[in-house]
Amino acid sequence: MQPGSSNKRVLAVLTHLAIIIALAVSAVPPILSWVSDYRHEQAAVVIEAEINGRIVGQLINTNPDLWVFETLRLEELLARRSDIGNRNEIRSVFGPDNRLIAQSLDELKPPLIAGRAPLFDSGRQVGTIQVQRSLRPAIISALWIFLASSVFGASVFVVIRNLPLRTLRQVFTALAEEKEKAQITLQSIGDAVITTDAQMRIEYLNPIAERLTGWTTAQAFGRAMDDVFKIYNEKSRLPATNPIQECLEKNQIVEMENHTILVRHTDQQEFHIEDSAAPIRRTDGSVLGAVMVFHDVTDRKAAQNRLQHIAFHDTLTGLPNRALFRKKLSKAMIDARFMKKHAGVLFLDLDRFKTINDSLGHAIGDELLVLVAKRLEQCIRESDVICRMGGDEFTAVLNSIDMPDNAGSVASKIVESMAKPFSIQGHELRISTSIGIAVYPRDGEDLDDLLKNADAAMYYAKGQGRNNYQYFHADMSSKAVHDLQMDNALQAALENNEFFLE
């Protein structure tokens, strides 16, 4: 609720309350005064009628039949009460036929109140006496009281309406300032913030959340959280559980799943996001809603992916490097064991590659390596992988092969494929490769053993005149292979100027 609207509502309630109390304060005293005066006058006229009746009764008793003709005497008797203080009365005597016989001469202003008493002669009613008084003094008195109490009522109205309002205004101002500060904080922070009620209906999005979701607070207000905040698992592409749902169910802070992707509703752009949701509780601990704070980690994720790619790929060819090769082979071995199949490792070394470098230059050598890498990738299944181990050495990891011979088929395809010339900068280059094959688990159950054996088989292939492939077998750890390996290592050391005299 806005402080302004609360203010107005409280003002209206206070105004009504003040009016009711002020009216009560103004009206009750004159009403009480009037009622009391009226009752007093009512009783007084009855008592006066009886007193006057007794006085007139004495005249009737002494002159039973002729009293009705004693008008003067009656008027004198009626006036006598005025001498002892009741001047504001009209006293009238009525005969048997209700005819006016005598009347005191006091003049009264209306409205009048009357009291009557019977006149008896020997127990027989012979007439009536009536006493009237004016109610005007009671009315004037009530009006004066009303005037005085109205002034008091008006003061009460002013006090009731204004004093609490001033305090309330201060409270509302303080609350509004607090809210303003909170709003500014939420608008300024770098994280995206979404708040919902306990039914997961959107209440607020800060500007970052609006940018990332594509919804403004006005558009999203009252909508279901899942409509506005669409998230998926980066790997499975399945909808991810909304952390607000979990946090409301568990009534505790929930961290968002890793690898969460948020899809912006306006343009379907995807953002990698991270963070958490927390319940918003009342002071009694009951849940009022939830707040979710998240931030865009797309750039960080991309940088991480770039670093990861660099760490695990060869910069020249883009192929997986030695580190990734080890991971891939390790997984292939686990899969093969699980599926009771085989995994193959092909170790390739280009033949006489140095000649190309030496004759045409390193740059052409590089281009050739890139083209070789592409051609190698065309020789394998999608589930297999080609890696560059360094220099002109490549490997192929063959996943889940039914029998060792399948590895030979791939090697044969590669040898054939390499036989076709490569065209680089106007040069038609021909190259071949020597391939050594080791098959898991037959040629080794350990990753390093398999690699070592594939390497030995490759040297054996070199020894067999190059441009061929060889399966590993136990004799290959022979001196001939060892000599070839040594020869190669010495050549590399020579090229790299690794020899020195001490």
Ligand X SMILES: Nc1nc2c(ncn2[C@@H]2O[C@H](COP(=O)(O)OP(=O)(O)OP(=O)(O)O)[C@@H](O)[C@H]2O)c(=O)[nH]1
Restricted to residues 361-380, the positions that interact with ligand X (CB under 6 A) are 362, 365-366, 369
Size of the site for ligand X (CB under 6 A): 21
Q: Which stretch binds ligand X (CB under 6 A): 188-196, 357-365, 445-453, 471-479?
A: 357-365
Cβ-Cβ contacts under 8 Å for 40 (sequence gap 6 or more): none
Q: In angstroms, what is the minimal distance from the CB of 320 to ligand X?
A: 16
Using rule CB under 6 A, residue 352 touches ligand X? yes
Out of 383, 423, 488, 498, the only residue in the binding site for ligand X (CB under 6 A) is 488
- Asked if residues 463 and 482 have their Cβ atoms less than 8 Å apart, the reply is no
Question: Judged by CB, which is closer to ligand X: 274, or 455?
Answer: 455
Q: Which stretch binds ligand X (CB under 6 A): 91-99, 142-150, 327-335, 344-352?
A: 344-352
- Asked if residues 465 and 431 have their Cβ atoms less than 8 Å apart, the reply is no
Restricted to residues 456-475, the positions that interact with ligand X (CB under 6 A) are 462, 466
Using rule CB under 6 A, residue 492 touches ligand X? yes
Q: Which stretch binds ligand X (CB under 6 A): 118-126, 178-186, 255-263, 348-356?
A: 348-356
Question: Judged by CB, which is closer to ligand X: 357, or 453?
Answer: 357
Q: Which stretch binds ligand X (CB under 6 A): 117-125, 305-313, 343-351, 453-461?
A: 343-351
Q: Which stretch binds ligand X (CB under 6 A): 179-187, 196-204, 264-272, 486-494?
A: 486-494
Q: If DSSP codes are grouped into helix, strand and coil, which group holds residue 494? A: helix
Using rule CB under 6 A, residue 357 touches ligand X? yes
Q: How far apart are the first and last CA of the chain?
A: 87
Q: What is residue 496's DSSP assignment?
A: T
Q: What's the token pair of residue 278?
A: 């927390």
Using rule CB under 6 A, residue 350 touches ligand X? yes
Q: What's the CA dihedral at 394, 397, 401, 404 to 10 degrees? A: 50
Q: In angstroms, what is the minimal distance from the CB of 353 to ligand X?
A: 4
Q: In angstroms, what is the minimal distance from the CB of 351 to ligand X?
A: 4
Distances (CA, A) of 37 to 91, 140, 145, 246: 20, 11, 12, 75
Cβ-Cβ contacts under 8 Å for 29 (sequence gap 6 or more): 145, 146, 148, 149
3-class SS string, 121-188: ECCEEEEEEEEEEECHHHHHHHHHHHHHHHHHHHHHHHHHHHHHHHHHHHHHHHHHHHHHHHHHHHHH
> Site map for ligand X, 256-295, x if CB under 6 A?
----------------------------------------
Which of these, 14, 27, 29, lies nearest to 158 by C-alpha position? 14
Using rule CB under 6 A, residue 491 touches ligand X? yes
Cβ-Cβ contacts under 8 Å for 134 (sequence gap 6 or more): 88, 108, 109, 110, 111, 112, 113
The residue number whose beta carbon is nearest to ligand X equals: 365
Using rule CB under 6 A, residue 349 touches ligand X? yes
Give residue 66's Cα distance to chain centre: 104
Alpha carbons 206 and 201: distance in angstroms, whole number:
15
Out of 178, 299, 495, 498, the only residue in the binding site for ligand X (CB under 6 A) is 495
Using rule CB under 6 A, residue 104 touches ligand X? no
Using rule CB under 6 A, residue 392 touches ligand X? yes
Q: If DSSP codes are grouped into helix, strand and coil, which group holds residue 213? A: helix
Question: Judged by CB, which is closer to ligand X: 271, or 394?
Answer: 394
Which of these, 184, 190, 187, 183, lies nearest to 274 by C-alpha position? 190
**Binding interface with ligand X (CB under 6 A):** 316, 349-355, 357, 362, 365-366, 369, 391-392, 462, 466, 488, 491-492, 495
